[in-house]
Amino acid sequence: MNKIWENRLKKYQKMLLHYSKFVLNDHFVIALLFFVGGLGLAYSNFLQTLPAHPFWWEKPLVLILLVLFLRAGSLATLLQEPDTVFLMPQEHNLPLYLKRAVAHSVLLAEFFQLFFLLLLLPLLSRGLHLGQLAVGILGLTQLLLKYFEMHFEAQSAYISNYEHWNFKVLRIIAVPLIVQGLVLYVEPLAGFLVVLVIVGLQFMAAKKTAQHYVFRWNKMVELESNRMMRLYRFINLFTDVPQVSGKVRRLRFLDRFLPHAKRDGVFSYLYWRTFLRKSDFSGLYLRLLLLGSCLLLFIPNFWLSFVCILVFQYLIGFQLLPLFAAFEDNVFMYLYPLEKSDQLEAFKLVLRKLLFGSWFFFNLSALIALGISWNYLILLIASMLEIAVFTGNYLTKRLGENT
Amino acid sequence: MTLKINNLTGGYSRIPVLKDISFEVGDGQLVGLIGLNGAGKSTTINHVIGLLVPQKGKITIDGNTLMDDPQNYKSKIAYIPELPVLYPELTLREHLELTMMAYGLETTSAWQRARVLLQTFRLENKLDWFPAKFSKGMRQKVMIVCAFVTQAKLYVIDEPFLGLDPLATRDLLNLIAAEKKRGAGILMSTHVLDTAQEYCDHFVLLHEGRVRAQGTLEQLRDLYGDLNASLTELYLGMTQDVNGNE
């Protein structure tokens, strides 16, 4: 089992390294540098303005941040679906495997926690005026809390009750909130002792679980594949990941908006259904739409809005391009007596309608932020022109080559 | 003649899998395409349905090749693949609607046929489900229903019996018989030789990319020189015969 874990970890890290090339490409790194630099500057300016006597909201803010930070880093078991069959006979050795997995995940997660604590340090000492000892205890408490959370999660491999929402609330919100609340509001040492006792109890309970419960293969494999999917989906924003194929949901309430079956409508029939029901496409559209609209609401500068609208529209259009080839691997697309050129036309129409939707919401946000003016008219026309070009010549050129 | 294959040489790459294959599927005829794994059955079928282009030779349906008029050629074929191919984001009802749209069927009468088919295969209460999540046998049934709703001129059926329950197998054979009566040609590849012997009018025995023998059961028996041989015996005898000579 040790061997299996080591092999898996090696493969997993190799995969991460491989994709990090694409994620950390030049553009992204430069953008990130600017972003982090700007944020850091804002943070340090903000710290300068803090008075000697802390504002009333500083403590709650720190508390919430601490609890939120605990969400970083999750349990990576690296279990795979075929394991339920192939590793079944090794179940008695599984605790050994899990132990390695938890140890690895905890180490990584604690590293993240340290990083966050370092970021929070100036706020703690300058804002809340905590002493070195208090800060140290707070840090240790935070690390122990993360340790508690990860172990609790690992225990749910055996105890199905832990999956229940009240246990989740306990693990994710209640315990961290109470413990760090004690540290911040009452007495640092008290919070630290509480979490120490909790971890100790947990340690004792964990020794028995593997003997009394059965390993929940399906649940654990599902959790792990969910985690991998989250990772892949993130990477998928930068490059194509073969494993990403989103879930399909019926969304019956949307049925009435779908085009009905009629002659010559094969492709639009397929495109609209695929778009709405496959979370890959509809989720992406919705995310970008929301993000863009929200961003535009807070941009008071015309030129910034101008660039933002054009970029977001382009992003939506560009990211939806894979929809064109969504059913290329279905033999029947080649068997049906259909004209290949109809496909491109149908796709253009679908994309145009979707982009008009985003056009409306983006410009509405811009209107609220900028107010009506001649400049605003330029915004409307420029973004409309972009759609016309994108779903016109651009698509013909880009997709026409393959057909 | 519905389907005509003349001196077909072809395959996936430069090196041909099929060598000089010729056979025909007439109107109202059920032709069994018999062969071991790797004999070239699926390759032949891929050529017929137009997924592969012949390197040499010609395939025509009612006198048309794929190159002459792709839309016409394809509208005459209904295909049931060996492994069910379904759209993960469409319901059963939408699969049927799509088939009707794609083949340009008249919807009222097509739905009448579809209802009967759905009832036969006990799928009528699953219209709003996603068939991609069904079991293998159920998905196979969906493929059958979608294919037979088209009333095509030529059915191409790849290994239909695996995964089907006995009742569905019987129903499929009845359907095939009915379509034969209507005048459709059917090309079916299979390993289930007992069933093939009972139902096929004509056999094409493929071996290592060549047609080893073809004809009715009687003709094959004559060729082999054993008037009581079953199709299994004939097939095993003929393929091993070739191996022995090499």
Higher pLDDT pick, A22 / B121: B121
Q: Which of A254-263, A346-355, B63-72 has the lowest mean pLDDT?
A: A254-263
- Which residue range is the domain that position B114 belongs to? 83-151
Q: In terms of Cα–Cα distance, which of B25, B16, B11, B33 is closest to B60?
A: B25
State whether B44 and B95 are in the same domain.
Answer: no
Cβ contact, residue pair A248, B130, below 8 Å: yes
How far off is chain A from B189, nearest CA to CA, in Å?
A: 18
Chain A hits for B87, Cβ within 8 Å:
270, 274, 327, 330
Distances, alpha carbon B188 to alpha carbons B33, B81, B149, B192, B196, in Å: 6, 10, 18, 11, 9
Over range A104-117, report the average pLDDT.
Answer: 90
Dump pLDDT digits (tens) for A345-373. Answer: 899 999 999 999 999 999 999 888 888 88
pLDDT value, residue A237: 66
Chain A hits for B73, Cβ within 8 Å:
337
- CA dihedral (A392, A394, A399, A402) in degrees, to 10, reads 120
Helix or strand (DSSP H, E) at A50 = none
Distances, alpha carbon A114 to alpha carbons A101, A110, B95, in Å: 20, 6, 54
pLDDT value, residue A225: 87
State whether B206 and B244 are in the same domain.
Answer: yes
State whether B188 and B246 are in the same domain.
Answer: yes
Domain spans in chain A, listed from the N-terminal domain onward: 2-232, 252-400
Query: Scanning the structure block, which residue is given the tokens 């036969």?
Result: B120
State whether B145 and B92 are in the same domain.
Answer: yes
In chain A, which residue's Cα lies nearest the Cα of B98?
A266
Query: Is any Cβ of chain A less than 8 angstroms from the Cβ of B107?
Result: yes
Apex A153 CA angle, A152 and A157, nearest 5: 110
Q: Give the largest CA-CA distance in chain A.
A: 78
- Asked whether the predicted pLDDT for residue A280 surpasses 80, the reply is no
How many domains does chain B divide into?
Answer: 2
Looking at chain B, how many residues does it have? Answer: 246
Going by pLDDT thresholds of 50, 70 and 90, the confidence category of residue A244 is low
Over range A272-299, report the average pLDDT.
Answer: 84
Over range A99-124, report the average pLDDT.
Answer: 88
Nearest-CB residue to B100 (from A261, A335, A339): A261
Going by pLDDT thresholds of 50, 70 and 90, the confidence category of residue A401 is low
Cβ contact, residue pair A338, B102, below 8 Å: yes
Nearest-CB residue to A337 (from B85, B91, B103): B103
Higher pLDDT pick, B239 / B29: B29
pLDDT value, residue A212: 72
Supply the mean pLDDT for chain A: 83
How far off is chain A from B116, nearest CA to CA, in Å?
A: 20
Cβ contact, residue pair B85, A278, below 8 Å: no
State whether B98 and B213 are in the same domain.
Answer: no
Tokens representing residue A229 in the block: 């999917």
State whether B92 and B158 are in the same domain.
Answer: no
Supply the mean pLDDT for chain B: 88
In a domain, B52, yes or no: yes
- Asked whether the predicted pLDDT for residue B165 surpasses 60, the reply is yes
In a domain, B112, yes or no: yes
State whether B196 and B233 are in the same domain.
Answer: yes
Nearest-CB residue to B98 (from A266, A278, A337): A266
In chain A, which residue's Cα lies nearest the Cα of B104?
A263
Query: How far apart, in whole angstroms, are the C-alpha atoms of residue A217 and residue A157?
Result: 8
State whether B128 and B226 are in the same domain.
Answer: no
Higher pLDDT pick, B71 / A26: B71
Q: Which of A236-250, B37-51, B112-126 has the lowest mean pLDDT?
A: A236-250
In a domain, B1, yes or no: yes
State whether B243 and B161 are in the same domain.
Answer: yes
- Asked whether the predicted pLDDT for residue A311 surpasses 80, the reply is yes
pLDDT value, residue B241: 64
- Asked whether the predicted pLDDT for residue B245 surpasses 60, the reply is no
pLDDT value, residue B246: 39
pLDDT value, residue A384: 93
Over range B139-162, report the average pLDDT.
Answer: 91
pLDDT value, residue A403: 46
State whether B136 and B210 are in the same domain.
Answer: no
Q: In terms of Cα–Cα distance, which of B59, B79, B243, B240 is closest to B158?
A: B79
Grouping H, G, I as helix, E, B as strand and the rest as coil, residue B162 is coil
CB atoms within 10 A of CB A161: 9
Looking at chain A, how many residues does it have? Answer: 403
Over range B127-132, report the average pLDDT.
Answer: 89
Domain harbouring B213, CATH code: 3.40.50.300
Q: In terms of Cα–Cα distance, which of A225, A259, A229, A244 is closest to A319?
A: A244
State whether B88 and B66 are in the same domain.
Answer: no
pLDDT value, residue A361: 93
- Asked whether the predicted pLDDT for residue A258 surpasses 90, the reply is no
State whether B163 and B108 are in the same domain.
Answer: no
Query: How far apart, in whole angstroms, are the C-alpha atoms of residue B200 and residue B183?
Result: 15
Query: Is any Cβ of chain B less than 8 angstroms from the Cβ of A209?
Result: no
How far off is chain B from A264, nearest CA to CA, in Å?
A: 7
